[in-house]
Every structure is written in C-alpha cells, then in structure tokens.
Chain A
Amino acid sequence: MTASPLLDVRDLTVAFGRRPPAVRGVSFTVAPGQRLGLIGESGSGKTVTSLAIMGLLPDYARVTGSIRLGDAELVGRSDRSMAEVRGDEITMIFQEPMTALDPTMRCGRQVAEVLRLHAGAEAGPARERVLAMLAEVGFDDPERVADSYPHQLSGGQRQRVVTAMALINSPDLVICDEPTTALDVTVQARVLQVLDRVLTLENAACLFITHDLAVVSQLCSDILVMLDGEIVEAGSTAEIFDAPQHPYTRGLVATARLDLVPPGGRLPTVDDFYTRPAEGAR
C-alpha cells in the first residue's frame, strides 16, 4: 500500500432528493492489483457507491466529495467524458446475468462491441480476441458461445460472458456488484474461480461488492464493512475474521462461521450482536 493508490475515494456522499444521504462520508483507497471486498446488507449503500464511481447514477443524484482514478477526478465529469473512462480503465460486472446481456444480440458480438469501441480494432482480429477472451473465462467451445444468443446459455455461462465483456479491454479496476448472488452455489464457485484467474491474468484491481462474507473471503485480501451508508470497519480479511471490532461485523462473522455452532444449537443472527437504531432515529 505504499505506491500511490489506483482509486482514491474521499468523503463520498450521495443523496437522492430530500431523503437522508444513501452514502455518507465514505473514504477508501484501492491499490493497483488489490482485491477489496465491500460488504453490507441490502440498502447499505454499496451499490450506490459503485455506481457513483462508474458515473452511472441517475441525473437527480447529488454526489459530493472526491473520487480520484490515478490523477483524474471523476466527480462532476460529464457522461460523455466518463464513457471514455468506462470500459477502458474501470468497468463493472452486474449481479443479474439473466438480464445483463442484450437478448437480440449474439454473445460474441456483444463482447466485440466493447472491444471495437475502445481499441478501434478491425473485425477479423476482433473476432480472434473475443474468442481468446471467451476461452480465458473458461469456455471450451468459444466459437459456439460467440454464436449463441443469451437465452441459449445458462446463468453461469452468461455471467462468464459478462465477465469477458468487462475484462476484454484489460481495465485497471473491475467493480463486481454481487456477481454471484443470482447463481446457485456450485456455479458460484466456478464463476469465482474464473474471476480470480482472469483478474490475476489481466493484473486488474477489484472492488468486490457482496453481502456474503464467505464469498468475499475467497477472493479478497481486504474488506470494508458498510452499514447504513457509512463504512463501519476496514481491515484485512484475516483481521476481520479473527478480531471483528464493530458489533455488526461480529454478527456478520458469526453468521458466516456456522461450523462453530454446536449441532442442534440455535443459529446466530446479526441482530444477536447488533441492535439497530429505531426507524427514524437517525
């Protein structure tokens, strides 16, 4: 963590309309090649944080603070100028593989579309590169996958196509927004394995968003815990697992370590450790 960070988020606050901010004063950094897990429950602000970094929030969102990618400030940039950064330097993998691909377009063309836009490659070499990328995400028959429509592939296969789409331009940072949540456990393991390999291969940093501590521990070296729009705890994966400080984190760790529960014992819940403030108390 001595080198200058790839992504430097300082005091990020995002508000919609008159409601209290969805993200409040969030600060963290991602070093080149680092794998950072961002964990939190639904509504904790983790997806809003990631969309703010991508510049994909709707127009009515008010974003303050600073998001620096390398030397460039991303907050306040126009959609057009963000489009040049997206895909090339940062990219994002979404949680719904069933709907993240255009049903009217063959998978190979969708991957190629991203490639052509940025590298300006010609059709022949582009096809080669797409097939190589599809092989990289673990397809034995990239030709067939490239010529398939999304509905002809399974959820896990689609998620790997989406991964290929996100990584084909060798971005520096990949934001994964619960990429395995919609998949069943065995497919989940396969996709994580592929993601791990491809991230290493492309030497990309990763901000991995999830509500599943077990998933994050497989992939990430460091973890941020987010609750109600704020980061309540940060540390290495080992630290978080061995010595969680915040009561909410202790609850998360306890629910992730079901192997410690004696047979027949009551399963722990987060609420055993952390008492939520009453509705409207904030």
Chain B
Amino acid sequence: MRGLELRVGAVLVTLVVAAALLSRFWTPYDPTMPAGARLQPASAAHPLGTDAFGRDLLSRLLAGAQSTVYVGVIAVGIAVLIGVPLGLWAAQLPGRASEVLLRATDVAQAFPALLLAILLAGLFGGSTETAMVAIGLASIPQFLRVARAGALQVLASDFVLAARACGIGRLAIARTHVLPNIAPLVGVQATVSFALAILAEAALSYLGLGTRPPTPTWGSMLQQAQSVWFAHPEQAVIPGVAIAVAVLGFNLLGDGLREHLDPRLREEVA
C-alpha cells in the first residue's frame, strides 16, 4: 500500500492547515468572546458545544489550529535552518573538535525546552513568539545530531570519494551529495519535532508562558478543560483529538514523503 500513508497524512495536514487559514477570515463566532450559555452540549447553534466561559468550541478549535501550525512551522524551521548546517559542519571537523561540539550539544540537550522557555519568558515576556523560539532552539541539537550522523555516513561513501577524485570541492559535495542523501533523515526528524513542538506549545500555554489568553490554542483549551474533566470530558477530548490528528498527520506525511523522495524505495530495482 505504497502512497497510502502519504495521502492520509496529506489529507490530515491539509485539514489542519485549512482550519488555520479559514479561521483567519471566518469562524462561526468570535473565539475569544462568550457566545452563549456555559458548557452546553453540541447543538445546531454550537456544533461542538461551548466551553466554561460560554465560548463556541468549534470557533476556538479552528482558531487554535493557527497557533499550532504557526508555532510548529517556525520552531521546526529554526531548528532545521540552524541545526542542519551545524551538523554538516560538525561532520567535516577533525575528530577531536567534533567530539567537543557533540559534548556541548549534550549539555544543551540536558536543559529541557521548558526551562529555556521560562528563561526566555523571564527576559522577554511570555508570548507565542517566545514559545516558538524556545522550542526551536531546544530542537537544534536533535537536528545537529541527525545531520552529522547522516553526513558522516555519506562522506565515508565511495561516491563521495569518486566525486572528490573528479575534482568536486567540499562545499559542492555537501550541497549536491550530502544534503539530498540526508534529506529523508531530516524529514523524519522534522515530523517528530513538529509533533513534539505541538505538545511543548501546549505545555507552555498551560504554564502561561506561551500564547496569552484569550487567544485560543489547543494546549490552553486542554488545560482549561482540566477543571471540568469529570463533568464534561468532551471539553478535553475535542482539543485532544485535534492534537492527535495533527501529530498523526505530520508523522504519516513524513513517512510518505521519505518513501516518495528516496528513489531507492520509489521504484523496484530494474
């Protein structure tokens, strides 16, 4: 069933992105203002019901997709743009310097993203931007490691030696041979990081270090549902399912893309 993962993943991700885009122009109600009685069940007027403040849940769910996509894309983007070139550079360093750099990333990884976010929030104030920069910075070591490990393997390969024997320089080899060969690895790491970024954003919102209320995010919706969990579990289930769908969608998309991008997997050996 090749291509099924890609299609399902693409559909789920499109759903999330479409919700984010749609909510920029239209939501059934204002997601930040009460639109009816509190904690109503689903009805024609409110397809998903209302929350503890009487705000329309569907509107909040759609608007929440915005910060999810925004934070995920920017955080992963920061991590990829800084982590991958650093990893390629680390792979070219002589053994000892490379070791030192790796130990430094170990130290960096020992600080959880949350701690970094608290630090940044203390310095610059809690906001969506602070959260995504913190998540992005905290994800750099993962990309550095993946890129370095992949690059070391590619650099040791016969085709790189053959390319060097034909006079191709180190920079050109990094660009035309190493990058395409480690792209699948980076892609898979990106989907994992995207899923982690969504969860980290939820945690930061919960602590008040992420997106400020009343702007809705799936994480803060989950957190607000906590106080009414026993009486109204659907309040937590709705954003929870949304997070799960987004994470699953990005994972499937990443797996599907990897299969699609890798010519060795795409076609049977002739």
The chain A residues found within 8 Å of chain B, CB to CB, are 54, 56, 59, 79-80, 83-88, 91-92, 94, 96, 99-105, 110, 113-114, 117-118, 149, 151-153, 162, 165-166, 169
Report if A113-B162 is in contact (Cβ < 8 Å); known contacts: A99-B157, A152-B270. no
Please determine whether A114 and B180 come into contact, CB atoms closer than 8 angstroms. Answer: no
Interface residues of B (CB under 8 A from A): 94, 157-159, 161-170, 172, 176-177, 180-181, 262-264, 267, 269-270
* Given known contacts A103-B181, A151-B264, A162 and B162 CB-to-CB distance under 8 angstroms: yes
Contact flag A56-B164 (CB < 8 Å), given A99-B158, A149-B263: yes
- 5 other A-B residue contacts (CB within 8 Å) besides A100-B161, A113-B168: A83-B170, A103-B263, A149-B267, A152-B267, A152-B269
Cβ-closest chain B residue relative to A96: B158
Q: Would you call B270 and A117 a contact (CB within 8 A)? A: no
Judge whether B159 and A83 touch: CB under 8 Å: no
Q: Assess A165 versus B166: contact at CB under 8 Å? Given A94-B161, A102-B181, A151-B270.
A: yes
Q: How distant is B26 from chain A, measured CB to nearest CB, in Å?
A: 43
**Among A100, A118, A162, A169: residue with most chain B CB under 10 A:** A100
Chain B interface mostly:
helix
Q: Tell me if A151 and B180 are in contact (CB < 8 A).
A: no
Whether the pair A86, B166 counts as a contact (CB closer than 8 A) is: yes
11 example contacts (A-B, Cβ-Cβ < 8 A) are as follows A80-B169, A86-B167, A91-B165, A100-B162, A102-B163, A104-B177, A113-B168, A118-B167, A152-B269, A166-B165, A169-B166
State the CA gap A87–B161 with chains docked (Å).
12
Majority SS at the chain A contact face: mixed
Q: Is the CB of B166 within 8 A of A87?
A: yes
Given contacts A83-B164, A118-B167, A166-B166, contact A99 B270 (CB under 8 A): no
State the Cβ distance, B121 to closest chain A Cβ, in Å.
42
Minimal Cβ-Cβ distance residue in A for B182: A104
Given A94-B161, A102-B159, A105-B177; A151-B269 close (CB under 8 Å): yes
Q: Chain B contacts of A151 at CB under 8 A?
A: 263-264, 267, 269-270
Question: A123 to B161, alpha carbons, bound, how many Å?
Answer: 24
A99–B170 CA distance with the chains assembled, in angstroms: 19
- By a CB distance below 8 angstroms, the chain B residues around A84 are 167
Complex CA–CA separation, A96 to B158 (angstroms): 8
- Which residue in chain A gives the minimum CB-CB distance to B172? A117
Contact in complex: B167, A87 (CB < 8 Å): yes
Partner of A94, one of B165, B167, B177, B263: B165
Chain A residue nearest in CB terms to B158: A99
Residues B165 and A54 in contact, CB atoms below 8 Å apart: yes
* Cα(A256)–Cα(B220), bound, Å: 79
- Residues on the A chain within 8 Å of B157, using CB: 99
Q: Would A85 and B167 be within 8 Å (CB), given that A103-B181, A103-B263, A151-B264 are in contact?
A: yes
* B170 / chain A contacts, CB cutoff of 8 Å: 79, 83
Q: How far is the CA of A183 from the CA of B82 in the complex (A)?
A: 43
Question: What's the nearest-Cβ distance from chain B to residue A118, in Å?
Answer: 6
Q: Which residues of B contact A104 (CB under 8 A)?
A: 177, 180-181, 262-263
Q: Are B167 and A103 in contact (CB under 8 A)?
A: no
Q: How far is the CB of A61 from chain B (nearest CB, A)?
A: 13
- Residues in A with CB closer than 8 Å to B180 are 102, 104-105
| Shortest distance from the beta carbon of B160 to any chain A beta carbon, whole Å | 8
Chain B residues contacting A153 (CB-CB under 8 Å) are 270
Q: How far is the CA of A105 from the CA of B159 in the complex (A)?
A: 11
A99 to B167, CA, bound (A): 18
Q: Would you call B166 and A91 a contact (CB within 8 A)?
A: yes
Contact partners of B164 in chain A: CB under 8 A: 56, 83, 86
With A102-B181, A104-B181, A151-B264 in contact, do A91 and B167 touch (Cβ < 8 Å)? yes
Cα of A94 to Cα of B161 in the assembled complex, Å: 9
